[in-house]
Chains A and B, each alone.
Chain A
Amino acid sequence: MLREGVQGVTRSLEATNREERIQELQRSGGEIRFLSRLLGAPPDAALLADAHAVGLVEDGWEARVEQYRVEYTRLFSCPGPNFIPVNQSVYTDILKMEPSAPDPSGCGMAFPGGELRGYLGGTSCPALVRWYTEAAFTAYDGARQMPDHISLELDFAAHLCLAEAHALVIEAQDEAAAYRDLLFKFRQNFLELWLASFSQCVASNSVSSLYRRVGARLLELPTSLDRYNPG
């Protein structure tokens, strides 16, 4: 009776921890997805209402919808001096250029070939497509096209959190552990290779409180996700 009781207590403790963890994963996943939506397109009224509810924008935001849309564009969409690159390739990948075909006829020009940083379409892209496919992740309607866009990488992280939560709900422990592992590796190999640089720029270049706070939140993200690290 006592042993059963003890087991019962252990089980219910585990259950409570599990319950808590599920709650937390869902909350985290939801928050990260919310951040991904904020970075995926200029905000509409619905998104701003939610942003207000979580304290990212001040009261009276209704009158400033256009302003936020213009600012989103200035920071994330419009090439120019204030543009913050939103694709991982620009931060972490190398573009390899071949030397030009030898032309000894004297056209007066040639390329030796070499490596450049800061370009789109790097090896991150096919690698991410592979991760997304393997983990059964599909982009939402209206998502950006390139797989290394910040909004997609964040949405994928959210997907992994929520998938782990789901696995825990149906008590598929091994699957849950695998999702946890995937998230950890994803952060290591992709997201956190550039998240700090990106977030720093966002936090410091924004004019409005909205994106400044988004940037600040993104800077904290790795720490808050660390509690989900695989045991």
Chain B
Amino acid sequence: MQPDDKKNTLSRKVFLKYAGMGAAAAALPPLVPGLARKALASIKTGQNYEKAQRIFSCCNQCGGQTGIECLVEGGRVVSIRPNNHNPNGFSNISTDFFANIEKEGAVMCPKGNAGLMTLYDPDRLQKPLRRTNPEKGIGIDPKWKEITWDEAYTEIANRLKKLRADSDAHKLLWFSEDHSFTHVQADFMKLFGSPNYSNHSNLCDTARKASFKMVMGDERPLMDAIQSKYILLFGWNPLSATKWAFLPRLMTRARENGAKLVVVDPNFSYTANKADEWVPIRPSTDGALALAMAHVIIRDKLYDETFIKEWTAGFDQFAAYVQDKTPQWAETITTVPAKTIEKIAHDFATTKPSLADVWSGPGQHCNAVQGGRAIACLNALTGSYDRPGTMVSPEKKGNKHIEWSADDTAAATLRMDRFDGLKSYPFGHKSGVYCESFARLAEGKGPYKPKMGIVVFQNLLMSVPGTKTVEAALKSLEFLVVNDTCLSETAQLADIVVPGTTYLERYDLNGHWVTWPVLGLRQPVVAPLFGQPTEYEFVAELGRRLGLKDKDGVEIFKMGHVSHQPIEDKKAWYEEWLSKELLEGEPKISLDELKALPGATWMSKTGTTYEKYAKPVSEEKVKAAITEGNVLFSKKKDGTKDKQIGILKDGKAVTGFQTPSGKVELFNAKLAEKKDADGVPVDPLPVYKPRQWAPDGQFPLYLINWKQASHTHSRSQNNAWLVEIGPNNPLLMNAATAAKMGLKDGDAVWVESKYGKMKSTLKVTAGIHPEVVGSQHGFGHWALGKIANGRGSFDGGLRPTKADPISGQALHKECCVKVSKA
């Protein structure tokens, strides 16, 4: 160290250097005469905000996209309230919405209220980070170093450039959430040249999509609860696992109008508690229950004869199949008493209108697709499709995803097979097969070895079953980029982590949650707090640095798609991107026009329509169509077959259903021509097969998990309010089972499967099936933030990384365990 005097002189010199570094690089800050005195006087008068700004947008605390109205004052969001112009918070039926919204008003769940805490969370990532510790793994400190955005972009772009230059573009895997800015990410992958874009849907409900698609041709029918008189739910908890904020109101009103609610679920959920009847069931056997119900309905001729005759195919084969699927047969399989099965079947078929719906309860076991299909067939028997009070096919018109054509470089690698083997899944969903991706990465299998991964708005280590496999998979990549708002468990394994935005800081277009065409706008309520780019700007910047062009040489991520001029500012560029999707889609308005609409929500004037299958096809369309058998197809420009537009029925052309026969299919012989991912032909009938992983002497209990209103997956456990309401996820166990095992309420227990174990606190209840234990999913974080850390238990390590072989759905519920005192 230097002697004090010399040090002081040197310090002084250094400080004077900094004194000279004004913002304008002048020697001293420029002085405006009188400015300081004016400032003093002005400040004395206190803060006087301009009139608060009101901005309409859509919530994204979960995927529900409830409409919101935000107040912004002094650049801060001060209030978030429901948006009465967006039906997501009120009803999925247009007549109900238009008649009642004024007097009742839309709602928003408390997670939406907590939005301010998400936006202003002090644990948010503010700047890009680069790991300096080459060793990766759970619990290993990455030794992050903050880098600039330019450094982050440069490194990521250089690696992407190298992949493309080495003809290895297909070795980039991209995983993202499934509702936000998916188009721009998918397009990046396409123009980059990788077929491996995957998103969240196959972690959620691709089994249900496959089931309904097989039966009535629509992946996502929605229940018209408010007009129904008999609602039969399999493995769904809409009053608590409330994705759509309108659900509680619809179900409550239905019951006030005399509807019966019956809930089939191993867990006595909040919805089951409010139901007229709780039917506890052995997990994964719902398909058998449905088949037995069908047996009763057919035996007693309670089915809708007209509908069966006019609009279904394969009834005879189906009837023959269920002839021996008696309630007694089902009782052995499901533990539901035969008497109950008889009663429900009878009531379901004779109460009009009725509906049967199934979600992620049965939907996440390996027999989910055929099981859900059996349930979908129940609706067919009673004519419960596309009629008031039944399962309605929503009109999906909205914004349009513009299709770009890849250039030759990209086209070459786009031709490669997807890494996750999606094509082996006969009813796989375009979102891919996460489980297959991660299993292959971890085991070094698959058609090639991926090198790089980009993960946006996903926490794979907690949302994909089989934690160790996912960890090994992520470690196997040479370079991993994670874009997230917090340092999640997955981000801790990345090479570069970049901060994303919350929903209050960005754009999205949200449609498809109600039965008639509605599009809600999500728009920035405040600018990104840390000056970070939004996710689509992040993608666009990479696209620009890579110079990605389409087949016609257009720089897609730079060209304004309405003005056809290059746009420097990426936000403005994306605004044109959205305008283009709106103008080419059903709304035919620009983004600015959408912003100006009431509640920034576009709504089609024709509301919910029913019995669309009976709608006639116009003569001119029929004339221009290609006919195969009695099915009509529209023609592409080159004269080849395009979309199925209808069927010839009794000499008339009607729309029909989007199935191969144009009718609701209870049986389809051609299904056997498709083999599933295990090489087994898909059964033409909705057969019941028990799931693969059955309890045995060593692991005798079924372990399931579920969602409750307090949290969204694994995303919200760092929210101080939400953990007051949902602080923990105790393991529920049946009282008799606990007594037999000598376990008491509040005991610390080990829950163990052949793959791993977790510690839990036991909650003894009469409200769960005796063979089942279960808890709320999403807890047990080891990162994310100080409130989430160490709270509750996480069961992801107790299951393998496996998907159902028909639809690629991740098997979150298929698990057998033993429970012992800790």
Q: Enumerate chain A interface residues (CB-CB to B < 8 A).
A: 26-31, 33-34, 37, 41-42, 50, 53-55, 58, 66, 69-70, 72-74, 77-81, 83, 85, 87, 89-90, 95-101, 103, 105-111, 113, 116, 118-123, 125-127, 129-131, 134-140, 142, 144-146, 158-159, 162-163, 165-167, 169-170, 172, 174-175, 178-179, 181-182, 185
User: What residue in chain A is nearest B22 (Cβ atoms)?
Assistant: A162
In the complex, whether B636 has a CB less than 8 A from a CB of chain A is no
Quote the shortest CB–CB distance from A130 to chain B (angstroms): 6
CB pair A145–B531 under 8 Å, yes or no, is yes
CB pair B19–A162 under 8 Å, yes or no, is yes
Given contacts A55-B1, A69-B145, A81-B786, contact A107 B109 (CB under 8 A): yes
CB pair A145–B530 under 8 Å, yes or no, is yes
Given contacts A85-B122, A145-B529, contact A126 B23 (CB under 8 A): no
CB pair A134–B42 under 8 Å, yes or no, is yes
CB pair A107–B248 under 8 Å, yes or no, is yes
Given contacts A69-B146, A121-B529, contact A54 B239 (CB under 8 A): no
CB pair A26–B16 under 8 Å, yes or no, is yes
Inter-chain contacts of A73 with B (CB < 8 A):
129, 144-146
CB pair A66–B145 under 8 Å, yes or no, is yes
User: What residue in chain B is nearest A96 (Cβ atoms)?
Assistant: B78
A74 to B141, CA, bound (A): 11
CB pair B109–A109 under 8 Å, yes or no, is yes
Q: 5 A-B contacts, Cβ less than 8 Å apart?
A: A31-B11, A78-B144, A107-B248, A165-B28, A174-B37
CB pair B14–A53 under 8 Å, yes or no, is yes
A182 to B43, CA, bound (A): 9
Interface string of B244-286 (1 = CB under 8 A from A): 0101110111000000000000000010001000000000000
* 8 Å CB contact of B242 from A53, A107, A166: A107
**5 additional A-B residue pairs with CB within 8 Å, beyond A109-B242, A136-B32, A137-B23:** A79-B123, A87-B122, A100-B113, A108-B709, A109-B240
Inter-chain contacts of B40 with A (CB < 8 A):
178, 181-182, 185
Quote the shortest CB–CB distance from A91 to chain B (angstroms): 10
CB pair A70–B144 under 8 Å, yes or no, is yes
CB pair A97–B117 under 8 Å, yes or no, is yes
Inter-chain contacts of B132 with A (CB < 8 A):
66, 70
Given contacts A106-B274, A109-B110, A172-B31, contact A98 B249 (CB under 8 A): no
Quote the shortest CB–CB distance from B786 to chain A (angstroms): 7
A120 to B33, CA, bound (A): 35
A95 to B80, CA, bound (A): 13
Quote the shortest CB–CB distance from B138 to chain A (angstroms): 15
Inter-chain contacts of B23 with A (CB < 8 A):
137-140
In the complex, whether B17 has a CB less than 8 A from a CB of chain A is yes
Interface string of B438-456 (1 = CB under 8 A from A): 0000000000000000000
Inter-chain contacts of A136 with B (CB < 8 A):
29-30, 32, 35
Q: Which of B35, B106, B251 has the most CB of A within 10 A?
A: B35
CB pair B43–A159 under 8 Å, yes or no, is no
A116 to B119, CA, bound (A): 14
Inter-chain contacts of B14 with A (CB < 8 A):
30, 34, 50, 53-54
A181 to B125, CA, bound (A): 36
User: What residue in chain B is nearest A78 (Cβ atoms)?
Assistant: B144
CB pair A166–B37 under 8 Å, yes or no, is no
A145 to B23, CA, bound (A): 15
In the complex, whether B15 has a CB less than 8 A from a CB of chain A is yes
CB pair B145–A126 under 8 Å, yes or no, is no
A108 to B707, CA, bound (A): 13
CB pair B76–A172 under 8 Å, yes or no, is no
In the complex, whether B127 has a CB less than 8 A from a CB of chain A is yes
Given contacts A98-B79, A107-B709, contact A78 B129 (CB under 8 A): yes
CB pair B18–A30 under 8 Å, yes or no, is yes
Q: Which 9 A-B pairs have the closest CB atoms?
A: A126-B74, A30-B19, A30-B15, A178-B36, A145-B531, A134-B39, A107-B248, A166-B28, A105-B252
CB pair A126–B75 under 8 Å, yes or no, is yes
Inter-chain contacts of A135 with B (CB < 8 A):
35-36, 39
Given contacts A37-B18, A101-B107, contact A108 B47 (CB under 8 A): no
A74 to B79, CA, bound (A): 33
Quote the shortest CB–CB distance from A186 to chain B (angstroms): 9
CB pair A100–B110 under 8 Å, yes or no, is yes
CB pair B146–A78 under 8 Å, yes or no, is yes
* 8 Å CB contact of B248 from A37, A98, A99, A106: A106
In the complex, whether B652 has a CB less than 8 A from a CB of chain A is no
In the complex, whether B320 has a CB less than 8 A from a CB of chain A is no
CB pair B143–A167 under 8 Å, yes or no, is no
A130 to B120, CA, bound (A): 20
A133 to B118, CA, bound (A): 29
Quote the shortest CB–CB distance from B505 to chain A (angstroms): 11
Inter-chain contacts of A162 with B (CB < 8 A):
19, 22, 28-29
CB pair A125–B116 under 8 Å, yes or no, is no
* 8 Å CB contact of B110 from A74, A81, A111: A111
Interface string of B95-120 (1 = CB under 8 A from A): 00000000001111110111011011
In the complex, whether B822 has a CB less than 8 A from a CB of chain A is no
Quote the shortest CB–CB distance from B28 to chain A (angstroms): 4
CB pair A126–B129 under 8 Å, yes or no, is no
In the complex, whether B121 has a CB less than 8 A from a CB of chain A is yes
In the complex, whether B694 has a CB less than 8 A from a CB of chain A is no
CB pair A130–B43 under 8 Å, yes or no, is yes
* 8 Å CB contact of A79 from B39, B107, B486: B486
A101 to B528, CA, bound (A): 27
CB pair B34–A175 under 8 Å, yes or no, is yes
A119 to B123, CA, bound (A): 9
A179 to B252, CA, bound (A): 64
* 8 Å CB contact of B710 from A83, A109, A142: A109
A142 to B691, CA, bound (A): 57
CB pair B710–A30 under 8 Å, yes or no, is no
Given contacts A55-B11, A70-B145, A126-B74, contact A29 B19 (CB under 8 A): yes
CB pair A163–B29 under 8 Å, yes or no, is yes
Quote the shortest CB–CB distance from A200 to chain B (angstroms): 18
User: What residue in chain A is nearest B531 (Cβ atoms)?
Assistant: A145
A162 to B119, CA, bound (A): 36
In the complex, whether B725 has a CB less than 8 A from a CB of chain A is yes
Given contacts A79-B125, A181-B40, contact A105 B74 (CB under 8 A): no
User: What residue in chain B is nearest A114 (Cβ atoms)?
Assistant: B721
A169 to B26, CA, bound (A): 15
CB pair B16–A30 under 8 Å, yes or no, is yes
User: What residue in chain B is nearest A189 (Cβ atoms)?
Assistant: B43
Residues 1-30 (chain B) with a chain A CB within 8 angstroms: 1-2, 7, 10-23, 28-30
A35 to B537, CA, bound (A): 33
User: What residue in chain A is nearest B147 (Cβ atoms)?
Assistant: A42
In the complex, whether B394 has a CB less than 8 A from a CB of chain A is no
User: What residue in chain A is nearest B12 (Cβ atoms)?
Assistant: A27
Quote the shortest CB–CB distance from B267 to chain A (angstroms): 15
Quote the shortest CB–CB distance from B347 to chain A (angstroms): 23
Q: Which of A30, A137, A158 has the most CB of B within 10 A?
A: A30
CB pair A77–B113 under 8 Å, yes or no, is no
CB pair A53–B11 under 8 Å, yes or no, is yes
CB pair B16–A130 under 8 Å, yes or no, is no
Quote the shortest CB–CB distance from B388 to chain A (angstroms): 21
* 8 Å CB contact of B487 from A78, A87, A100, A131: A78
A170 to B32, CA, bound (A): 12
Residues 62-85 (chain B) with a chain A CB within 8 angstroms: 73-82
* 8 Å CB contact of A26 from B19, B36, B75: B19
Inter-chain contacts of B604 with A (CB < 8 A):
none
Given contacts A96-B78, A98-B79, contact A163 B146 (CB under 8 A): no
Interface string of B405-425 (1 = CB under 8 A from A): 000000000000000000000
Inter-chain contacts of A179 with B (CB < 8 A):
36
Interface string of B452-493 (1 = CB under 8 A from A): 000000000000000000000000000000000011000000
Residues 127-149 (chain B) with a chain A CB within 8 angstroms: 127, 129, 132, 143-146, 148
CB pair B7–A97 under 8 Å, yes or no, is no
Inter-chain contacts of B122 with A (CB < 8 A):
79, 85, 87, 90, 118-120
Inter-chain contacts of B19 with A (CB < 8 A):
26-27, 29-30, 33, 158, 162, 165
